[in-house]
């Protein structure tokens, strides 16, 4: 698959995701809550997680309605986590995706509620009434909820955040840093791949290979994030650059140096590609391209 073919695929898919999110996140929720939610999730972000869901679902010929719902759900979880992360009691950040953060725009209380409501909405989107046209079968709905809930909670994202909170100003060795990132960002990225995979039927071997792929790019994503935080300006990133150093947070760059971090990203990229080979799935070209993009991105 050429990069141009990938771009055409991803543009079409992102349009479908945007339309679906626009449908699910209603602006008429009470007292401005819907507006805060829409501000926090629409028209922004790289949408890496939805693309991982959809590329994996394509590789396993998965249920299309389920995959689109899973793509929206995982992005809702990601977007809610950013809103809560940016709050004054957490990272106290004012810039996200090139815009004022949700609490700057709507106030702290509304931002917290918007995040809370988006987490509930993620599970709502996964569990439509069975008579709805694109509704996934009930067993698939349950499996999608299971994967998303585990990746979002103490074993995953929320647990990683707690480690992150506790680590400010404290040196972490590499295993501890890796544990934090595997939970904080890796779990949801890996879950994106696995939610795509459960939309179809895969062998245990392919399932494990996809889990390995998701794990490798999940960690690669964070290593590259750490690199970009020191090499890029805020206007390129669309968020505040240099804040890890400002907050005295341990990063792959502070631990391995810039060259060491780049080597690590390359090694994780190679692991991800090897996992795709092991999956023995027919068409993993989209997933291979996504791994390239995770490592080669500039923002």
Binding residues for its own copies (CB under 8 A): 26, 29-34, 37, 80-81, 84, 87, 89-90, 107-110, 112-113, 115-117, 119-124, 126-129, 138-139, 141-143, 145-146, 148-150, 152-154, 156-163, 165-166, 183
Q: Which is nearer to its own copies, 38 or 97 (CB)?
A: 38
Residue 176 CB, nearest distance to its own copies (Å)?
10
Residues in the chain: 299
Are 103 and 86 spatial neighbours (Cβ–Cβ below 8 Å)? yes
Residue 33 CB, nearest distance to its own copies (Å)?
4
The distance from CA 48 to its chain's CA centroid, rounded to whole angstroms, is 6
Q: Which is nearer to its own copies, 110 or 215 (CB)?
A: 110
Are 157 and 187 spatial neighbours (Cβ–Cβ below 8 Å)? yes
Q: Which is nearer to its own copies, 51 or 117 (CB)?
A: 117
Structure tokens that stand for 189 in this block: 């990225």
Structure tokens that stand for 20 in this block: 């679906």
Structure tokens that stand for 224 in this block: 């590259």
Residue 204 CB, nearest distance to its own copies (Å)?
14
Structure tokens that stand for 245 in this block: 């150093």
Q: Which is nearer to its own copies, 83 or 290 (CB)?
A: 83
Q: Which is nearer to its own copies, 141 or 240 (CB)?
A: 141
Rg (CA), the chain: 18
Residue 196 CB, nearest distance to its own copies (Å)?
18
b (16+ CB within 10 A) / e for 119-140: bebbbebbbbeeeeeebbeeeb
Pairing of strands 95-96, 99-100: antiparallel
Residue 67 CB, nearest distance to its own copies (Å)?
17
């Amino acid at each position: 698959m050429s990069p141009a073919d990938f771009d055409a695929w991803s543009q079409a898919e992102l349009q479908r995701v945007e339309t679906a999110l626009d449908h699910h996140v209603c602006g008429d929720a009470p007292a401005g809550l819907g507006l805060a939610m829409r501000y926090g999730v629409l028209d922004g972000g790289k949408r890496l997680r939805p693309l991982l869901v959809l590329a994996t679902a394509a590789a396993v010929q998965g249920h299309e309605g389920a995959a689109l719902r899973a793509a929206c759900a995982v992005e809702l979880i990601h977007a809610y986590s950013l809103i809560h992360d940016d709050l004054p009691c957490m990272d106290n950040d004012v810039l996200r995706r090139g815009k004022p953060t949700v609490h700057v725009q709507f106030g702290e209380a509304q931002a917290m509620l918007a995040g809370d409501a988006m987490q509930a909405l993620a599970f709502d989107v996964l569990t439509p009434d069975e008579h709805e046209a694109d509704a996934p079968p009930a067993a698939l709905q349950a499996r999608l909820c299971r994967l998303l809930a585990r990746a979002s909670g103490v074993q995953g994202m929320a647990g990683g955040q707690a480690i992150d909170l506790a680590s400010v100003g404290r040196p972490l060795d590499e295993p501890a840093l890796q544990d934090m990132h595997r939970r904080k960002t890796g779990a949801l990225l890996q879950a994106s791949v696995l939610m795509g995979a459960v939309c179809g039927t895969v062998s245990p071997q392919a399932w494990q290979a996809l889990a390995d792929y998701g794990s490798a790019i999940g960690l690669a994503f964070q290593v590259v994030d750490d690199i970009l935080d020191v090499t890029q300006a805020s206007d390129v990133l669309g968020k505040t650059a240099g804040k890890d150093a400002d907050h005295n947070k341990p990063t792959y760059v502070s631990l391995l140096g810039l060259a060491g971090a780049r080597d690590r990203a390359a090694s994780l990229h190679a692991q991800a590609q090897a996992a795709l080979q092991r999956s023995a799935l027919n068409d993993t070209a989209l997933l291979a391209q996504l791994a390239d993009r995770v490592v080669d991105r500039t923002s």
